[in-house]
Homo-oligomer: A and B are copies of this chain.
Amino acid sequence: MQKITILIHCKDQKNIIASVTTFIAQVGGNITYIDQHVDVEQNVFFMRLECEFANSEITIESFKADFDKTLASKFDMSWDLYSQEQKPKMALFVSKYDHCLFDILGRYSAGELNIEIPVIISNHNDLRWIAERFDIPFHLVPFTKDNKDEGEAKQIELLKEYEIDFIVLARYMQIITPKLISLYENRIINIHHSFLPAFPGAKPYHSAFKRGVKIIGATSHYVTEELDEGPIIEQDIARVSHIHSVEDFIMKGRDLERIVLARAIKLHAERKTMVYSNKTVVFS
């Protein structure tokens, strides 16, 4: 065990910080980064730590057992531990839009994302050629009203086969089933092409154009059963004016979608996001 990231949340109580930091010190760890937050209204405490264990004999298993016994039970914590050496495995769900796919694969190839992308799943064959260019397995999983159960079963089978940690919907444009959502709770990231909660649903650029807004946006969020209502991870905006047509909105929006989604992937992969009350704490 060398470098780990720990995420904790629990009811806010006295002396949590002191207790956790003392524990880490006692087992031979050095805290290299600490972030903490208290939601005063809801009385919830959040913490993210990065620790190094140089020359320590402690294993992840014994650390976990100790932490559970000593701290987690005492403060009634929900907590997770991640080795920084292990890259999370991300599945890409795509449909027909290629700009987010190109952007993610470009970043991936350029070594910008500390993840693995073992598989791309799509309900159409249109983007297969891109997957092939980047040497990533591409699976066609048709998904319509009529074959929902079959499609879902195939998706889940592939996610298991490739040992997927989290899913990114790169303009996938299809409903994700409740079963898949519950299997990957807070681990499915979507990019919505509007500044949520403005313009939810389909054709947001058309609605934004009609309303005459001066700023458009994009929103990356975790997928929940309520469409476009999941916890927001990241948002960004671009200015528009009367000179821009709906097509211009769409074109400007593509840049927003690319960047907002890429940022959300990075934050999730680095374990910098925590979810509660349908909101996120993002330690960035």
Contacts and interface: CB of A to CB of B under 8 A. Distances in A.
Interface of A: 14-15, 17-18, 21-22, 24-25, 30-34, 36-41, 46, 98-99, 102-103, 106-107, 109-110, 112, 130, 133-134, 195-199, 211-215, 217, 231-237, 241-243, 245, 251, 254-255, 259, 262, 277-282, 284
A110 B106 contact: no
A207 to B, nearest CB: 8
Nearest to A54: B14
Instruction: Determine chain A's interface SS by DSSP, over half rule.
Output: mixed
B106 A279 contact: no
A255 B233 CA distance: 19
B195 A215 contact: yes
Nearest to A234: B214
Contacts of A32: 38
Given A212-B280, A280-B212, A255 B259 contact: yes
Contacts of A215: 195, 217, 235-237
Contact of A237 (B30, B237, B282): B237
B102 A98 contact: no
A17 B38 contact: no
Contact of A18 (B22, B235, B279): B22
A102 to B, nearest CB: 3
Nearest to A266: B251
B37 A242 contact: yes
Contacts of A33: 36, 38
Nearest to A241: B282
19 contacts: A17-B31, A17-B34, A18-B21, A32-B38, A33-B36, A40-B245, A99-B107, A99-B110, A109-B130, A133-B133, A196-B213, A197-B199, A197-B213, A212-B278, A214-B282, A215-B237, A237-B237, A241-B284, A242-B282
A109 to B, nearest CB: 7
A130 B109 CA distance: 10
Nearest to A30: B14
A284 B252 CA distance: 13
